[in-house]
Amino acid sequence: MKYGILVNEGPYQHQASDTAYQFAKAALDKGHEVFRVFFYHDGVNNGTRFGVPPQDDRNITTRWTEMAEQHGVDMVICIAAAQRRGLLDEGEAKRQGKDGDNIAPGFRISGLGQLIEAGIQCDRLVVFGD
């Protein structure tokens, strides 16, 4: 089975990100493919490299980054939602005249077309969060 995943909630305000991660991990462990995880609305906050959770708490961004590195999962952050929330990659930071970027390794910024493509290419598109 080939899955696309949509995450609409931030990493620490809602259970959706943890549940999406656990779902993706279980799918990969069972031999399924996770084609893309698309982060939308407050879900884009999963991709900031500046989050510093307490040492005794899980680091959701690091979990997503490791999944991208180990399994080649495409982690896409919606550009419009990211800009509204101050998340910028290097290219967009330069374009906007900002002095730095804050996207975590393994994530990339792109548009809603990537979500549509995931819906077309995958057997299932699973949505986590409102």
Q: Where are the domains of the chain?
A: 2-128
Task: Just list the catalytic residues.
Answer: 78
**55: pLDDT confidence band, cut at 50, 70 and 90?**
confident
CA–CA distance from 117 to each of 44, 76, 93, 95, 114 (Å)? Answer: 18, 12, 26, 26, 5
pLDDT at 46 over 90: yes
pLDDT (tens digit per residue) in 81-130? 999 999 999 999 999 999 999 999 999 999 999 999 999 999 999 999 98
2-128: CATH topology is Hypothetical Protein Ychn; Chain: A, (3.40.1260)
Name which of 32, 33, 44 is nearest 6 in CA terms.
Answer: 44
Percent of the chain with pLDDT over 90: 92
